[in-house]
Chains A and B, each alone.
Chain A
Amino acid sequence: MAPKPKMPGVLKGLGVTFRTAMDTMFPDGPLHPPSPSKGAATVQYPREKETPSPRARGVISLEEDNCTACMLCARECPDWCIYIEAHKTLAPPRRAGGKPRQVNALDRFDIDYSLCMYCGICVEVCPFEALFWSPEYEYSEVRIQDLLHDKERLGQWMETVPDFEAYESGSESKVKKVPR
């Protein structure tokens, strides 16, 4: 049997763009009045907003109590945009009569979002569950130095961190908990 005659790719391409344009212009069919704002796949951002997906990489938030100033995140950061300073201090013993524990108290934990490339290595590498992704994205600033978030600002993002979900059924017991 002879192969089915094919439409030249050139005409096919023109058809694709034309159909998309018509779908955008007349989402209800060609007999209805055009309403491109309904047919478009995009939204007009400052007026309408789409909810980012819960695991979106918007901003990194810090749970200060979990941080031990181990510097792993700062050292792994490809952009070197995490600045940590800490001092050693004595914390009360866990049990009565015990020795006071030596801990690192955080003096400074800054992330420079003008340098950050949102790779998430710091979140991955943190062994103490002190860093979390939050889907919030609206923190642009007029001045570039205001993009340096200190530990108070990073701590405020914690309430926007969504709860983790199970990867598959049966793994519910292994789901990580977000410290609240």
Chain B
Amino acid sequence: MTHTFFSLELAYWQQTLIKLLAGVAFILALTGAVVYLYLFKFVSFMQSRLGPMEAGPYGSLQLLAEVGKWLQKEDIHTENSDRLIFGLAPAVVMGSTFLMFVVIPAGPNAVIADLPSGIYYVLAMSSISVIGILMAGWASANKYALLGGLRAAGQLIAYELPLVLAGLGVVIQAGSLNLQSIVASQSSGEIFGIPAIGNPFIITQIVGFVVFMIAVQAELTQTPFDMPIAESELVAGYQVEYTGIRFLVYFIAEFATAVGFAAVASTLFLGGWALPESWGISDDAMHVIGPIVIAIKAVLLVGVVFWVRFSFPRFREDQLQRLAWKFLIPITLINLVVTAVLKVVL
């Protein structure tokens, strides 16, 4: 199977290599932008201060300085730690983050693997990070790390369900698990026969969208759901024994996952890379515009996640579990039933 790429015939492995490199560059650029925009600047403005201003114009190179600092640090591990598992854990977390991006489309062809069961794959890959976090908590040989790891496991499993169920509403409405078909059905859809803005599923699935974003907040272990790394009770949870480059990997994985989930949410609910079909923009133009469109949507959604993160204090562990099992899951189940009934009736 060969596609033309700038009128060049490329072998499958060449295409995949180009897509992989472009994908990694895209993810890292977006992650850096998100860290600078929100973690450094937006939160500073919320607290009426300026944030980093020294490294580069308006502190824009601060992230590079931080990365350089972390790379220089000593790689410490505790005496009783399980060295192999301890070292592998950040790689598992990072791997689960990057695997998520494989099926997220950024244009008509800009997707590394267009799997028929795309949404299922994304949510499955994102939950692999639980294993990495448990590995880190167990292998650190530290009671705080173990408690943090167990809390993270309980939380991620509890919030995986509302995440999946909220996504299912979209799947029912679009009639496909494939992310490209979900994007297409939103871009070609109509609202009461008016095709002006397509039919982004946020309008019909607003309940699903809100629950999805709450669950994403918990999956990312961002405040108010940050019990696994609660610094005032557990020091830093499962990250407590990590230094230098391994800590850096956790840091990158955290923010890359934020971008990933935001990209999934914008694909499912905001129309993804596509602009409404009725605007009549050709596929050739969408090859260029598509990545920009999804990048803007994803960055804005990450902004919402960080806005919530920096506004609220932490929940208690039992409040967190109660919110997931007693509120979010029943709401999504009702949403699912209503969506399914309306889908059949209409």
Contacts and interface: CB of A to CB of B under 8 A. Distances in A.
Interface string A19-33: 011111100000000
Contact of A36 (B50, B307, B308, B312): B50
Contacts of A36: 45, 50
Contacts of B310: 17
A40 B48 contact: yes
Contact of A42 (B46, B50, B311): B50
B47 interface: yes
B53 A44 contact: yes
A146 B255 CA distance: 43
Given A20-B45, A21-B42, A25-B45, A14 B50 contact: no
Task: Pick from A10, A13, A25, A40 the residue with the most CB of B within 10 Å.
Answer: A40
B45 A37 contact: no
Nearest to A25: B45
B73 interface: no
A144 interface: no
Contacts of B48: 20, 23-24, 39-42
B49 interface: yes
Interface string B41-83: 0101111111001000000000000000000000000000000
Contacts of B45: 20-22, 24-25, 36, 39-40
A18 interface: yes
B50 A17 contact: no
Nearest to B49: A42
Contact of B312 (A13, A22, A23, A24): A13
Contacts of B312: 10, 13
B46 A13 contact: no
A16 B311 contact: yes
Interface in A38-53: 39-42, 44
Contacts of B308: 14
A40 B50 contact: yes
A118 to B, nearest CB: 24
Interface string A89-117: 00000000000000000000000000000
B57 to A, nearest CB: 13
Task: Pick from B45, B48, B49, B311 the residue with the most CB of A within 10 Å.
Answer: B45
Nearest to B224: A10
Interface string A130-150: 000000000000000000000
A96 to B, nearest CB: 66
Interface in B277-326: 307-308, 310-312
B291 to A, nearest CB: 27
Contacts of A23: 48
Contacts of B49: 24, 40-42
A54 to B, nearest CB: 25
A46 to B, nearest CB: 9
Nearest to A46: B54
Contacts of A17: 46, 307, 310-311
A42 B307 CA distance: 21
A105 B5 CA distance: 91
Nearest to B53: A44
B311 A13 contact: yes
A77 to B, nearest CB: 32
Interface string B115-132: 000000000000000000
Contacts of A41: 48-49
A20 B46 contact: yes
Task: Pick from A20, A24, A42, A44 the residue with the most CB of B within 10 Å.
Answer: A24
The 3 closest A-B pairs by CB, nearest first: A21-B45, A24-B45, A41-B48
Interface of A: 10, 13-14, 16-18, 20-25, 36-37, 39-42, 44
25 contacts: A10-B312, A14-B308, A14-B311, A17-B46, A17-B310, A17-B311, A18-B46, A20-B45, A20-B46, A20-B47, A21-B42, A24-B46, A24-B49, A36-B45, A36-B50, A39-B48, A40-B44, A40-B50, A41-B48, A41-B49, A42-B48, A42-B49, A42-B50, A44-B50, A44-B53
